[in-house]
Amino acid sequence: MPETDPVSVLDSSAAADNDADPDHLRDLGVRATADGGTIRVWSDSATAIELCVFAVKDPDWIADSVQLTRDDHGVWSGFSPSLLPGTRYALRASGPSGPNHAFDPRLALIDPYSRGLARTSSGRWRSYVQDDAFDWGGVQKPATPLDHTVIYEAHAKGLTKANPAIPEHLRGTYAGIAHPSTIEYLQGLGVTAIELLPIHQFVSEQRLISQGLRNYWGYNTLNFFTPHTQYASRDAQLGGPGAVLREVKGMVKLLHEAGIEVILDVVFNHTAEEGPAGPTTSLRGLDNANYYRQMSDGDYIDVTGCGNTVDFSTPAAQRLVLDSLRYWANDVQIDGFRFDLAPALGRDDHARYDPQHPLLTAIVTDPELAGVKMISEPWDLGMGGWQVGNFPAGWSEWNDGYRDRMRDFWLTDVASEQAHGSPAQGIGGMARRLAGSSHVFSHDRGPLASINFVTAHDGFTLADLTAYNQKHNLGNGENNRDGTDNNHSYNFGVEGPTVDASVVDARRLAMRNLLGTLLLSAGVPMITAGDEFGRTQRGNNNAYCHDSELTWLPWTRDGWQGELLEVSRTLLRLRRENPALRPVRFSVIGESTPSASEMEWYYADGAMMSGEQWDSPHARTLQYLAASTPEHEELNRILLVMHGRGTPVTVTLPRHAGINSYTLLWDSADDEAGSRGSRSLPGDTRDVAGHSMQLFRAD
């Protein structure tokens, strides 16, 4: 890739009339005025592009057409008095033939910058000139600090579709998310941000349609600026794309009023045009050679597993992403983004991942995106695709090492102990991740670079981790081939549902341990919707194609689920109340680092841990003492006791300068919380149940 200044390529603030550094990619899409609108479209390969404006009453009838003119930088532009808010339009592009091109002037293409989409009765898509006006009423973004952030990953439809407290016509919609019952639930739980699976307009893949299935998760984007129409209420859908956008903005406004941030899961790495034989709807028809990674013979270089990969070595593709982010962050007031298969955005012209890629750098340095949370899924399917810990400063990353090690400690190690008499691993790997994964993320980035999670939308739910050794995905139509086989799960002796009381108790304890570890670890925790009360998908670990009660959040729950929900609320409250659990920076031995947590590690007998026993499978009990180094909050100290063997243990609470007592805040083995609040002195002994954990405040 030729060296390019990312600011000059990507910064839309560059003055249009500055001949020394003009912004050639400025104002792409439609800019409407009272007298009509100007459209600007980028294509370096096209030889002609035509704007087609459709009749108001017939979206298949071209009422006006304009031949666009090209400048020296591949930008085609034109004016039409018909480009007014509410107008539907499309583009037709002509160009050279050859293996890398896909021009077909008969096709009506979606403007990549279209801020609305309308569908005809025949199923064709039309771009839509959007009216962006909305009264925010002075409501501001919550701007929750990252160390106070707790993310709740949810599906925009599945979150509320089954909620009887919401009027039926609003269930499963943006308005349903904004309903008082949903907001009250999220506030009562104690999360600070809702992360929505993709809400960019998407369609189902051709393979799924042929099987009679649909893409439920939404990772098949049609357009990067348009909200998914089917998640809007029926009234908004009937009101058109403008009403849909207003419902989305209304949702964001009400969540912000409640102090809840909105993070969007965005899919820029590939599009719904699939492989070369897939549907041509937008980018492929405008400039296949420059928007998609290809070999010289036209075969796609696919590092996503979805048929195509957008080529982010080109400035126009980089700018498309940046402009989309700016639009959602500023016009729609979105607080953050989680980037699906993010290494694909950082691959150069040879498809090699570069952590200093201009797009990755621009996303976290662009002044128009200041304060917006940026989260990567730091892996894709290409060569060198696993890049955990290797994103630039300013990014947070999904930490799959955290996920796997915590599952192992509370699940597969338990299975090993029960089968062979000894766990497979010691406590060191778990402890390193509990303390913020400093072996993965650089000192400069700190623990908040780690998005800690035990489950996510793809994979087993928390309850299913404890109930299934194998995936059960036959309902997906792929003979159980899809979905990972590497689940790090343990069914505690019975596959699936059981009435065996000992198995049920062990599973519920494991769920409490996993939730406790997640919410008491350094880093940013992410909860998958429903895990807080033990939702099941009946062993399906890849339920992407199920839009049904299998994937919708249940709002009628059993008694034990209510108890687990109270545990989740308690843990989230304890996280809020104890800054020592939420360090911003890694501590340095011998130094006082503001907003870090100074950590010390002790054996069960109260003695300081030594390196030789750190990773021994026989030393599975530790006491983790963390003291905050105040910068914005009061001094706080906690003691976390972790015990990873099946037999109970007696621990001696450590003696430490300045600590006079320990107050029990939570015990994972005590599901009724009967012993909370009990006080002990340094040097006192306490009984800890097998496979459990206890949290103390150290005063």
Is 427 in contact with 642 (CB distance < 8 Å)? yes
Catalytic residue among 50, 323, 340, 598: 340
Catalytic residue among 11, 23, 377, 417: 377
Is 451 in contact with 524 (CB distance < 8 Å)? yes
Cα 645 to Cα 619: distance, rounded to the nearest angstrom = 9
Query: Phi and psi of 42, rounded to 5°?
Result: -100, 130
**21 counts as catalytic:** no
Three state DSSP letters for 86-115: CCEEEEEEECCCCCCCCCCCCCCECCCCCC
Query: Which DSSP string do the residues of 178-223 spell out, in sequence order?
Result: TSHHHHHHHHHHT-SEEEESP-B-B---HHHHHTT---SS--SBS-
Query: Phi and psi of 464, rounded to 5°?
Result: -70, -25
Number of H helices, E strands in the chain: 15, 25
Residue of 47, 92, 88 lying closest to 70 (CA atoms):
47
**Nearest-10 Cα torsion for 241, 245, 248, 254:** -130
Is 240 in contact with 88 (CB distance < 8 Å)? no
**478 counts as catalytic:** no
Is 218 in contact with 202 (CB distance < 8 Å)? yes
Residue of 88, 66, 96, 79 lying closest to 35 (CA atoms):
79
Rounded to the nearest angstrom, the gap between the alpha carbon of residue 619 and the centroid of all alpha carbons in its chain is: 35
Helix (H, G, I), strand (E, B) or coil at 517: helix
CA distances from 334 to 196, 373, 620 (A): 11, 10, 43
Cα 469 to Cα 557: distance, rounded to the nearest angstrom = 24
Residue of 277, 358, 275, 276 lying closest to 316 (CA atoms):
358
Is 662 in contact with 645 (CB distance < 8 Å)? no
Cα 329 to Cα 368: distance, rounded to the nearest angstrom = 8
Neighbour tally for 312: CB within 10 Å: 26
**How many residues are given for the chain?**
699
Cα 265 to Cα 394: distance, rounded to the nearest angstrom = 17
Residue of 202, 169, 197, 342 lying closest to 262 (CA atoms):
197
Which token pair is 426?
A: 């010691």
Continuous H helices in 61-179:
174-177
Which token pair is 510?
A: 């494991």
DSSP tag of 570? H
Beta bridge partners of 401: none
The catalytic residue positions are: 340, 377
